[in-house]
Amino acid sequence: MKTTQRPHHYRAIWISDVHLGTRECRAEFLLDFLQSTECDQLYLVGDLIDLWNMKRQVHWPQSHSDVVRTILRKAHAGTEVIYIPGNHDEAFREFCGFTFGNLRIAREAIHLTADNRRFLVLHGDEFDDAVKCGRLLSAIGNVAYDLVLRLSHRVHSLRRRLGLPYWSLVAFLKRNVNQAAKYIEQFDHAVAHEAARREVDGLICGHIHRAQVMNVGERVYCNDGDWVESCTALVEHADGALELVHWSDRQHSVIHLPPLVTEETPEPVAA
């Protein structure tokens, strides 16, 4: 899956919810993305390695090692890598504050965009408590969720064999199942509330596996999605514009920000 073009340069890239170590991880897509792009700052916004599920079962093909090696090689070549562990790689939170060359492990980070907007970057499981419905979902949903993921994987293989474009069953269900939609909506509100409380222009996270860039009141909420279902990353251009990049084996489509964000410079936040 090598691209012939020169790597595309971004100011910053955010990826999360890669879930290395599980069968569901789309490591080949991520490798293709990492090899096709360059950036000054690479944020790994949690659930990079799924230590949680690896306790039950480990799936670690060569491509998963290649993802880790590619990220370390980027750090070695000068990319500033900021690793923010999530709830599935919670064990690494013990190392928050550590720095290894260009690799830094942190609980959260503040990113300053080229157009001087301050974004709080964190994984997002911090909001599970705020979203009451989240607990309910994780209690009854874990088994069903695993089943859906497995089914989704089958659907993907079948579609690939038939030459059909990549399509995510989980993303489809999440958009269409009422309860999940309600959870996502409450999550959005919790994020906006936190962004206001922390007096930042926006918040960037992952965790709920749903890529999104939206205005919530005066703040911007960005979710970089995942590499289990949707294969998405958030990127910052040289001028500070943020974009969601959708990466799959069939197409490379870019969803542009709503005009409010790209065309208007947000008011500076009162300290």
Residue nearer to Mn ion on the CB measure, 202 or 225: 225
- By beta-carbon proximity to Mn ion, the closer residue of 207 and 210 is 207
Q: How far apart are CA 127 and CA 225, in angstroms?
A: 16
Phi, psi values for residue 242, rounded to 5°: -105, 140
Q: Which is nearer to Mn ion, 174 or 207 (CB)?
A: 207
Beta bridge partners of 44: 15, 83
Is 47 a residue that touches Mn ion (CB under 5 A)? yes
Q: What is the DSSP string of 69-103?
A: HHHHHHHHTT-EEEE---STTGGGGGGTT-EETTE
Q: Choose the binding region for Mn ion from 79-87, 112-120, 237-245, 250-258 (rule: CB under 5 A).
A: 79-87
Residues recorded for the chain: 271
User: Which is nearer to Mn ion, 32 or 226 (by Cβ)?
Assistant: 226
DSSP state of 271: -
Among 86, 134, 202, 225, binds Mn ion (CB under 5 A): 86
- Strands of the sheet with 212-216, listed across from one edge: 109-112, 118-121, 202-205, 219-223, 212-216
Smallest distance from the beta carbon of 227 to Mn ion, in angstroms? Answer: 12
How many residues bind Mn ion, per CB under 5 A? Answer: 4
* CB-based burial label for 264 (10 Å; 0-12, 13-18, 19+): exposed
Region of 23-31, 87-95, 234-242, 256-264 interacting with Mn ion (CB under 5 A): 87-95
85 lies in the binding site for Mn ion (CB under 5 A): no
User: How do strand 219-223 and strand 8-15 relate by DSSP bridges?
Assistant: unpaired
CB closer to Mn ion out of 6 and 56: 56
Report if residue 207 touches Mn ion, rule: CB under 5 A.
yes
Sole binder of Mn ion in the list 35, 63, 87, 138 (CB under 5 A): 87
Q: How far is the CB of 134 from Mn ion (least distance, A)?
A: 11
* Chain centroid to CA 116: 22
- Contact region for Mn ion (CB under 5 A) — 39-47, 172-180, 213-221, 230-238? 39-47
Residues at the interface with Mn ion (CB under 5 A): 47, 86-87, 207
